[in-house]
C-alpha cells in the first residue's frame, strides 16, 4: 500500500491511497488543476479514481471538489451530516453519486477496505479513515481537537499514518491570530499541537507503525523543522527509533510513503 500527499496544510489538503489497481482520494481541498497535475506526475488521472473520501466539509478539504467532479462520474463517500452539506455546496455532485458512510462501518472499494471513525472537530460528521489492503493498514487523520478514545482505537495497529501536527502552542498564543481563533484552534474541536501530535506518534509507533507523516501544519504557527524536531525528540525519548518520520509539504506532491 502507498500513500501520496498532494497537499497538506491549513490552506489545502488532499491525499491519495493506492493498493494494486485501486486508487482512493482522501479530500480535495486544492484546485482541480493542482490535483490533476499531481496525479499525472505519478501516472494517474481523476477519471481512474475509485472514489473520493471526504473527511469533513471545511473548505481546505473540499475546495476543488466541484470542478473535479464535473464530467467525471467518480463516487463520493462521506458521513450523513457531511454528505448533506456537500449536496448543498457542490452543484456537480448528484445525490446518486454520494454514498453515505457511518463511523465504524466498513466497506470494500476495489482492493481496499475503508473504515471511517469519528474525529473531534468543529465540522458536522467529521471523520478520519483507516484503509486496509494487501495485509497492510494505513490511516489519514488530521483536524483533531484531542486524542479521543475512538480515534486511538481506530488507529491501533496501523503500519502507516498521516497525522496532525498543526501548531506550536506558544507561537499560536503570541502570534497575530485574534483570541477567538486561538481558542478555537486550542479547543477540544480544533487542532493538535506538535506535542499532541507527538503523543499520537509515540502511541502509533508503539503499536507497530513503521512510517508516520506529519501533516496539516499551520503556515503562521508552525514550520516543518519545528514539527519534525518536537515529534522526533518525543519518539526518541520513547525508544521508537525504528519509525520513519516525514513532514508532508504544504503545496506539492510527496511520496510514495509505503505501509
pLDDT tens digit sequence for 112-138: 999 999 999 999 999 999 999 999 999
Q: Per-residue pLDDT averaged across 226-239, rounded?
A: 98
Instruction: State how far the alpha carbon of 248 is from the alpha carbons of 62, 166, 225, 237, in Å.
Output: 18, 12, 11, 23
What does the pLDDT read at residue 259?
85
Phi, psi of 208 (to 5 degrees): 115, 0
Q: Per-residue pLDDT averaged across 32-39, rounded?
A: 98
Confidence band for 38, pLDDT divided at 50, 70 and 90: very high
User: CB count, 10 Å around CB of 123?
Assistant: 17
- Per the CB < 8 A criterion, the answer to whether 213 and 246 are in contact is yes
What does the pLDDT read at residue 225?
98
- In this predicted structure, the answer to whether residue 77 has a pLDDT above a threshold of 90 is yes
What does the pLDDT read at residue 35?
98
Coil, strand, or helix at residue 229? helix
pTM for this structure? 0.97
- Percent of the chain, pLDDT > 90? 99
State the chain's mean pLDDT as an integer: 97
Max distance between CA atoms of the chain, in angstroms, equals 51
Amino acid at each position: 500500500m502507498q500513500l501520496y500527499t498532494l497537499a497538506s496544510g491549513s490552506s489545502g489538503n488532499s491525499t491519495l491511497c493506492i493498493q494494486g489497481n485501486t486508487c482512493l482520494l482522501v479530500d480535495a481541498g486544492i484546485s482541480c488543476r493542482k490535483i490533476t497535475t499531481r496525479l499525472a506526475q505519478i501516472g494517474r488521472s481523476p477519471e481512474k479514481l475509485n472514489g473520493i473520501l471526504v473527511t469533513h466539509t471545511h473548505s481546505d478539504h473540499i475546495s476543488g471538489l466541484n470542478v473535479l467532479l464535473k464530467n467525471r462520474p467518480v463516487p463520493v463517500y462521506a458521513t450523513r451530516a457531511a454528505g448533506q452539506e456537500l449536496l448543498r455546496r457542490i452543484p456537480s455532485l448528484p445525490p446518486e453519486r454520494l454514498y453515505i458512510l457511518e463511523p465504524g462501518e466498513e466497506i470494500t472499494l476495489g482492493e481496499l477496505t475503508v473504515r471511517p471513525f469519528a474525529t473531534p472537530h468543529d465540522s458536522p460528521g467529521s471523520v478520519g479513515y483507516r484503509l486496509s489492503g494487501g495485509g497492510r493498514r494505513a490511516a489519514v487523520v488530521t483536524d483533531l481537537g484531542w486524542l479521543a478514545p475512538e480515534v486511538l482505537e481506530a488507529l491501533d495497529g496501523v503500519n502507516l499514518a498521516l497525522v496532525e501536527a498543526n501548531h506550536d502552542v506558544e507561537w499560536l498564543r503570541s502570534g497575530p491570530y485574534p483570541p477567538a481563533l486561538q481558542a478555537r484552534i486550542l479547543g477540544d474541536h480544533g487542532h493538535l499541537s506538535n506535542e499532541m501530535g507527538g503523543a499520537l506518534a509515540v502511541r502509533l509507533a508503539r503499536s507497530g507503525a513503521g512510517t508516520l507523516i506529519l501533516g496539516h501544519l499551520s503556515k503562521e504557527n508552525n514550520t516543518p523543522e519545528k514539527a519534525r524536531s518536537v515529534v522526533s525528540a518525543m519518539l526518541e525519548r520513547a525508544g521508537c527509533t525504528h519509525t520513519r518520520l516525514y513532514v508532508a509539504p504544504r503545496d506539492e506532491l510527496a511520496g510514495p510513503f509505503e505501509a
